[in-house]
Amino acid sequence: MPGPVAGSKSRVYADVNTLKSREYWDYEAHVPNWNNQEDYQLVRKLGRGKYSEVFEAINITNNEKVVVKILKPVKKKKIKREIKILENLRGGTNIIRLVDTVKDPVSRTPALVFECINNTDFKELYQKLTDYDIRFYMYELLKALDYCHSMGIMHRDVKPHNVMIDHQLRKLRLIDWGLAEFYHPSQEYNVRVASRYFKGPELLVDYQMYDYSLDMWSLGCMLASMIFQKDPRDSASHHSPVSCFTQLKATVMTTSD
């Protein structure tokens, strides 16, 4: 009979949050500073997700173009976590910059305001990237991930949709920190994170004591998408990552017997 599972600890940046004050990572105690959404005029809808709707907008006080992410009803602690993480990462290499936190004066609906990036849709962009382009943008994404990991934070949803690229200016930003979390050694985390075709093996086998390496697996999937100019979701086989991983695991175990 197997013994108890040993505690898990990341090989890098394991003790970042242990060495910081509780105020740094205790997002539930964080009190966001909410400003007035009337300072921003919505221009057009850019997209929507499970937790938000995203709009291009103009700051009417200075004519700055911004992006406004209007949050759908979720638990307050989830909103606090995203804001706390974005504030902690503000100014970080290739991290999307949080400009403001606002609420609608009538509905009190919260929204996050970000810098605007002139993004090219990845389905179009990946088709024309050169070998040098791929290496350049992967390096820029690695810079962003190394920075957030060095700050004790896992992104947990790295995918093409969350990597904005202004190809003309060769500028990259890692966005959507709604699933990000502070890393603490041996802590059990929710495995219902990341997107289907970018999930690390830990998530596929419900292993909860994962760490920053989860983001590196997702980055590897992105790299493959760029090199082979394929969207994983367009796979003709339609086999789920779970079934493929289970088959591989069974093959390895059979071979080792």
DSSP code, position 143: H
Q: Tell me whether residue 215 is one of the annotated catalytic residues.
A: no
Residue 156 CA to residue 187 CA, distance in Å, equals 15
Amino acid at 50: K
Cα separation of 49 and 72, whole Å?
9
Active-site position among 157, 176, 211, 215: 157
> Three-class SS of residue 181?
strand
Host H or E run for residue 218: helix 213-228
**Distance (Å, whole) CA 11 – CA 249:** 24
**Rounded alpha-carbon distances, angstroms, from residue 175 to 7, 93, 187, 206:** 31, 12, 25, 26
The reply to whether 159 sits in an annotated binding site is no
Structure tokens at 238: 């339609």
Q: DSSP strand E in the chain: where?
A: 35-36, 40-48, 52-59, 64-71, 98-103, 110-115, 153-154, 163-166, 171-174, 181-182
Handedness of CA 204, 183, 217, 93 (dihedral sign): positive
List, edge to edge, every strand of the sheet that includes 52-59.
35-36, 98-103, 110-115, 64-71, 52-59, 40-48
CA distance 122 to 144: 18
Residues catalogued as catalytic: 157
- Residue list for the binding site: 69
Binding residue ranges for ATP: 69
